[in-house]
Amino acid sequence: MRFDGKFGLVTGAGSGIGRATAIGFAQRGGGVAVVDLNGANAEKVANEIKASGGKASAIVADVTRPADIDMMFSRTLDAFGRLDFVHNNAFGFPAALRTGSPVTAVADASDEVWNHTLEVGLTAVFRSTRRALLIMRSQRSGAIVNTASISGLRADYGIAAYNAAKAGVINLTRVTAIENARFGVRCNCICPGAIETPLLVGSATPEMIDKFKEVIPLGRLGRPEEMANVVLFLASDLASFVTGAAFVADGGQTAKTGSPSFLPE
Q: Catalytic pick from 162, 170, 189, 230?
A: 162
- Mean of the pLDDT values across residues 211-224? 95
pTM of the predicted structure, to 2 decimals: 0.95
Looking at the predicted structure, is the pLDDT value of residue 209 above 70? Answer: yes
Residue 62: helix, strand or coil by DSSP?
coil
Summarize pLDDT for 159-202 with one digit per residue, the tens: 999 999 999 999 999 999 999 999 999 999 999 999 999 888 87
Summarize pLDDT for 106-163 with one digit per residue, the tens: 999 999 999 999 999 999 999 999 999 999 999 999 999 999 999 999 999 999 999 9
Q: 124: how many CB neighbours lie within 10 A of its CB?
A: 25
To the query of whether residue 162 is one of the catalytic residues in this protein, the response is yes
Q: 103: how many CB neighbours lie within 10 A of its CB?
A: 14
Q: Can you give the length of the chain in residues?
A: 265
Q: What is the pLDDT of residue 95?
A: 57
Q: What is the pLDDT of residue 265?
A: 74
User: Which stretches of the chain are assigned E, i.e. beta strand?
Assistant: 7-11, 31-36, 55-60, 85-88, 142-147, 185-192, 246-249
CB-CB contact of 92 with 63 (8 Å): no
